[in-house]
A and B are shown apart, each in its own frame.
Chain A
């Protein structure tokens, strides 16, 4: 587990005088499920944007998938997958067209796209949906499909920004099974979530508050350290120390 895929040292990101990320330090290892928690406005989104090559750090060293976040953002982009909280497939395109589009964007050739498409449809038992519009699918199915599309090109790391927002518990469960399966293939999963029970599923979690990382460890050790019964407890104790 010490094959590092993300390393962040003294990352600072400022917007004018506002410090969104204040001296972040952490590492993420290959095949790990890394939970990135924090209240709204804690600076999670800013950090994810930097890690995914969308924005540049103000200072500090950031390396993602072996590439530098200042100069090699294009290479980073090729090696990561991304799924955001807002829904990310095109509703007026069919399942197949969406997959061909994203496969094409990530530079996959036709035969590879075809092969992955067939695998993916079989795995999700989606064969009947191949030519259906995304708008015809229930939300749970769309979300699973969006995740599959995000890892279609077998990236080194996949970023999931609140992927289970607005999804029913059963689908969330199935979604996390997909996450486990993906991690077992060696793809690192970097996930933000509001659901504290989901945080328990992560290998390690970090908790951000006011631009800083205030806790980072396995859920078990954090619970022990804060003398808490659940991650939710930990979170509350950190947010309100008294």
Chain B
């Protein structure tokens, strides 16, 4: 045991002496959370809209005010005719143009029916959809507010939509669990595979193997520090998302941390497996980054829903551990569900951990032969 502790201490020294390792361990996660949380936002805020008002009456004025004061939009320009529409889009600041037909107010009051066009910049489909949805919602609100029973000939049915679990549809809710999932697997797998191949490359692994340390002690000693540091990392990310984005953990914190530990363990065994198949550090880095980062971002359901993918991708993604962890972490953090709802995913992660461990042990033995 004393031998082992001395060895673990050495591994900590490696980590703390190398500012790059420290940066990857703690700098990148914090940066990722902030970047994904702020920059990669799918909410709209102050999107530019231009108005082409062919009617110029009280009603259009009121509606324009409503749209601008909603907080989602800001007015970029007032257009005079249809020819300006193309020009204003080409300038780039304007995401949508709202056009009121001639005699809009008159038609609205007398006939209860008026036409309004929303033209959105389709080169950014996401923003375009959001902008049109938001505008439509504001217009509908306006209609409901404006129609008093006396004026109204038909009954207006206004559906009230409520977003469960994430009432404001904040995108942080989606990104924080995703980033935790991505970062943990990347860092754990990358770091362990690199630290083990480094010993191979520098020839120190030979010396360790010839020493009385057992192979299992060598591997555990190399992995243990990363387990501890990654766990601290989880706590930091959770604290960061709580203080910066106000994202609470709805479910049991203990359950969440336990699941994180399982996921860290799984990632570490994956890292060990990568190290047994790579000859040098570059290879280990390459496999970890390309092999894990892209599939995790694209196929795990982190950003794009798996249900919308072709079946083939669904099968591919079913061997990716992040896919299961994302379900677990979203359930606990955002829906606040208990273990009953995530036992299946947990079970799969446990199986994966065991498989990776088994494969690594076998590979390791073959190498020793």
List the interface of chain A (C-beta within 8 A of B): 15, 52-55, 74, 77-78, 80, 82-93, 97, 100-102, 104-107, 159
Give the shortest distance, in Å, between A112 (CB) and chain B (any CB). Answer: 13
> Do A86 and B206 contact each other (CB < 8 Å), given the known contacts A55-B368, A77-B212, A106-B212?
yes
Residue of B nearest to A90 (CB): B204
The reply to whether the CB of B83 lies closer than 8 angstroms to some CB of chain A is no
Cβ-defined contact, A77 with B206, below 8 A: no
Cβ-defined contact, A92 with B14, below 8 A: yes
Cβ-defined contact, B7 with A105, below 8 A: yes
- Chain B residue numbers with a CB within 8 Å of A106 are 3, 211-212
Task: Given contacts A55-B369, A88-B203, A105-B7, list 13 more A-B pairs with CB under 8 A.
Answer: A15-B369, A54-B368, A77-B211, A82-B210, A90-B202, A97-B10, A97-B13, A101-B6, A102-B211, A104-B7, A106-B3, A106-B212, A107-B212
Cβ-defined contact, A88 with B206, below 8 A: yes
- Chain A residue numbers with a CB within 8 Å of B368 are 54-55
Residue of B14, B17, B206 ringed by the most chain A CB atoms within 10 A? B206
Cβ-defined contact, A92 with B17, below 8 A: yes
Q: Is the interface of B mostly helix, strand, loop or mixed?
A: helix
Provide a sorted-by-A list of 27 A–B residue pairs whose CB atoms are within 8 angstroms: A54-B209, A55-B368, A55-B369, A74-B212, A74-B214, A77-B212, A78-B212, A83-B207, A84-B207, A86-B202, A87-B202, A88-B202, A88-B206, A88-B207, A90-B202, A92-B14, A92-B17, A93-B13, A93-B14, A93-B17, A101-B10, A102-B211, A104-B3, A105-B7, A105-B213, A106-B212, A107-B212
Residue of B nearest to A52 (CB): B210
The reply to whether the CB of B18 lies closer than 8 angstroms to some CB of chain A is yes
The reply to whether the CB of B2 lies closer than 8 angstroms to some CB of chain A is yes
A233 to B369, CA, bound (A): 35
- A15, A85, A88, A105: the one within 8 Å of B212 (CB): A105
Give the shortest distance, in Å, between A21 (CB) and chain B (any CB). Answer: 14
Number of A-B contacts (CB under 8 A): 75
Residue of A nearest to B10 (CB): A101
What sequence of 0s and 1s flags, for each residue 329-369 of chain B, a beta carbon within 8 Å of any chain A beta carbon? 00000000000000000000000000000000000000011
Cβ-defined contact, B210 with A77, below 8 A: yes
- Chain A residue numbers with a CB within 8 Å of B202 are 86-88, 90-91
List the interface of chain B (C-beta within 8 A of A): 2-3, 5-7, 9-10, 13-14, 17-18, 202-204, 206-214, 368-369
A91 to B214, CA, bound (A): 23
- Chain A residue numbers with a CB within 8 Å of B208 are 105
Residue of B nearest to A78 (CB): B212
- Chain B residue numbers with a CB within 8 Å of A78 are 212
- Chain B residue numbers with a CB within 8 Å of A53 are 210
Give the shortest distance, in Å, between A65 (CB) and chain B (any CB). Answer: 13
Cβ-defined contact, A92 with B13, below 8 A: yes
- A80, A87, A159: the one within 8 Å of B203 (CB): A87
Cβ-defined contact, A105 with B6, below 8 A: yes
Residue of B nearest to A107 (CB): B3
A86 to B200, CA, bound (A): 10
A91 to B76, CA, bound (A): 61
Residue of B nearest to A87 (CB): B203
> Do A84 and B206 contact each other (CB < 8 Å), given the known contacts A101-B6, A107-B3?
yes
- Chain B residue numbers with a CB within 8 Å of A87 are 202-203
Cβ-defined contact, A101 with B211, below 8 A: no
A230 to B7, CA, bound (A): 45
A181 to B213, CA, bound (A): 28
- Chain B residue numbers with a CB within 8 Å of A80 are 210
Cβ-defined contact, A93 with B207, below 8 A: no
- Chain A residue numbers with a CB within 8 Å of B206 are 82, 84, 86, 88
- Chain A residue numbers with a CB within 8 Å of B3 are 104-107
- Chain B residue numbers with a CB within 8 Å of A82 are 206-207, 210-211
Residue of A nearest to B9 (CB): A101
- Chain A residue numbers with a CB within 8 Å of B209 are 54
User: Which 9 A-B pairs rank lowest in CB-CB distance, beginning with the nearest?
Assistant: A86-B203, A104-B6, A82-B210, A88-B207, A77-B212, A78-B212, A92-B17, A84-B206, A105-B211
- Chain B residue numbers with a CB within 8 Å of A92 are 13-14, 17-18
Give the shortest distance, in Å, between A38 (CB) and chain B (any CB). Answer: 19
A6 to B207, CA, bound (A): 20
Residue of B nearest to A133 (CB): B17
A122 to B24, CA, bound (A): 40
Give the shortest distance, in Å, between A218 (CB) and chain B (any CB). Answer: 28
A85 to B212, CA, bound (A): 20
Give the shortest distance, in Å, between B30 (CB) and chain A (any CB). Answer: 25
Residue of A nearest to B6 (CB): A104
Residue of B nearest to A150 (CB): B207
Give the shortest distance, in Å, between A142 (CB) and chain B (any CB). Answer: 12
- Chain A residue numbers with a CB within 8 Å of B10 are 90, 93, 97, 101
Give the shortest distance, in Å, between B68 (CB) and chain A (any CB). Answer: 59
Give the shortest distance, in Å, between B257 (CB) and chain A (any CB). Answer: 32
- Chain B residue numbers with a CB within 8 Å of A55 are 368-369
Give the shortest distance, in Å, between A212 (CB) and chain B (any CB). Answer: 21
Residue of B nearest to A91 (CB): B202
- Chain A residue numbers with a CB within 8 Å of B369 are 15, 55
- Chain A residue numbers with a CB within 8 Å of B14 are 90, 92-93
- Chain A residue numbers with a CB within 8 Å of B212 are 74, 77-78, 105-107
- Chain B residue numbers with a CB within 8 Å of A97 are 10, 13
A42 to B11, CA, bound (A): 36
> Do A54 and B6 contact each other (CB < 8 Å), given the known contacts A86-B203, A88-B203?
no
Cβ-defined contact, B7 with A101, below 8 A: yes
Residue of A nearest to B369 (CB): A55
